[in-house]
Amino acid sequence: MSAVESWPHVWIDGNQDTPIALLLHGTGADEHDLIPLGKALLPGSPILSPRGRVSEGGMNRWFARMGEGIFDVDDVIFRAGELAEFLNDAQAHYGVGDRPVVAVGFSNGANIGSALALLHPTSVRAVAAFSGMYPFGDRDPVGDATGVALFLANGTDDPMAPLPSVTKLDEVASSHGAHVTRSVRPGGHGLGESDLAAAATWLAGLSLTEV
């Protein structure tokens, strides 16, 4: 069994002239959770939806944490590298190695998506991050992120992804050359209709050369 086949994931083939949609689920979900969202935001795109390989009390996650909002930053960095390798191998496995990738993540998946793009910008150049936050704690391990495009959609009263942490993600990413677009709605942790509409507008403004 290959490395790609040993990592639980869903692959759905799509149109040849569209980017790959990399779907990154939230805590407790799996590789099937965001497929409807991926199809809605990137219609016709091939879908690659892996499962987070960290278990917390039986719940799938992308990286370890010490408590709510307190991330194991070393593990964030390691898991982002692991995911970048899987993505590269999967693109070769499915014969789509030259296709751009747009990541769509929710909550914990949004966090690993932002980490992936900022630490490995040649793997993923665009991320739609819903209800995510700054994934690196009090550290800044980001290098040159020129060309990375981040869309950050958050609620004003989200205790799991507080706006000051989102602002820090915006500031750090921007300081390293990333282009950040934000959408803020009333409410807490979740994914609202206004988030989807704003993300669709953002995606429509991206060109394949940007991602």
Residue entry with tokens 């917390």: 56
Tens-digit pLDDT profile for residues 31-52: 999 999 999 999 999 999 999 9
What's the pLDDT band for 1 if we cut at 50, 70, 90? low
Give the 3-state secondary structure of residue 71. Answer: strand
Write the DSSP symbol of residue 172: H
Query: At residue 8, does pLDDT exceed 80?
Result: yes
Q: What is the pLDDT of residue 209?
A: 46
Can you read off the two tokens belonging to residue 83?
């995911």
Query: At residue 211, does pLDDT exceed 70?
Result: no
Can you read off the two tokens belonging to residue 130?
């819903």
Average of per-residue pLDDT values in the chain? 95
Tens-digit pLDDT profile for residues 61-108: 999 998 877 899 999 999 999 999 999 999 999 999 889 999 999 999
Write the DSSP symbol of residue 42: S
What domains, with CATH codes, occur in the chain? 3-204 (3.40.50.1820)
Instruction: For residues 127 and 24, give the distance between their C-alpha atoms in angstroms, rounded to a whole number.
Output: 10
Query: At residue 152, does pLDDT exceed 50?
Result: yes
What's the pLDDT band for 175 if we cut at 50, 70, 90? very high
Contact 117, 124 (CB under 8 A): yes
Query: At residue 117, does pLDDT exceed 50?
Result: yes
Please state the separation of Cα 26 from the chain's center in Å: 10
φ/ψ bin of 170: left (φ > 0), alpha (ψ from -120 to 50), beta (otherwise): alpha
Query: What is the secondary structure of 10-39 as a DSSP string?
Result: EEE---TTS-EEEEE--TT--TTTTHHHHH
Q: What is the pLDDT of residue 116?
A: 98
Query: At residue 210, does pLDDT exceed 90?
Result: no
Summarize the confidence of residues 146-156 as an average pLDDT: 97
Q: What is the pLDDT of residue 15?
A: 94
Kind of pairing between the strands at 9-12 and 47-50: antiparallel
Write the DSSP symbol of residue 144: -
